Amino acid sequence: MKKRMIGTLLGFLAMFGFGAIYYGILTADAQAAMAAEFSSCMSAEPNMLYIVLGNILGAFLLVYSFDKMGINDAKSGAYQGAIIMALVFAMSNLFMGAQFTIWDTQGLLTEWIVGIVHGLLAGAAIGAYNSKLS
């Protein structure tokens, strides 16, 4: 239980930290412009509770999967985290692209790559932590 909680915390910090840099700093102006252009369906300020919960669930998915897969090093964690999140983000982005006109192909591909980086970083952090325990 402790291993899963600490691994989830480390994965969360990696995912949330990368998201803060990417969405909060690097693309903040683009996000604000998109929120203004699509004000009827986007809030100017994202719901941080949902963001935190999403990152916790994503990190836990990796921790749980890594336990079942026997991932105990940063390199394998990074690779498997990237693969798992590539699939998760591909699925969700395809559904978003099918339903919402605010997303174009370039935006969906960009978000898919960002999702892969989330998985790579969180997977590396969790894998490195697991290596300390084995």
User: How far is the C-alpha of 42 from the C-alpha of 53, rounded, in Å?
Assistant: 19
Burial class (CB in 10 A: 0-12, 13-18, 19+), 96: middle
Give tens-digit pLDDT for 75-96: 999 999 999 999 999 999 999 9
The domain segmentation of the chain, as residue ranges, is 2-133
Give tens-digit pLDDT for 3-49: 999 999 999 999 999 999 999 999 999 888 888 888 888 777 889 99
User: How far is the C-alpha of 20 from the C-alpha of 33, rounded, in Å?
Assistant: 18
Closest alpha carbon to 62 in 132, 110, 22, 14: 14
**Number of neighbouring beta carbons within 10 Å of residue 72:** 18
Q: Which residue has the higher pLDDT, 6 or 134?
A: 6
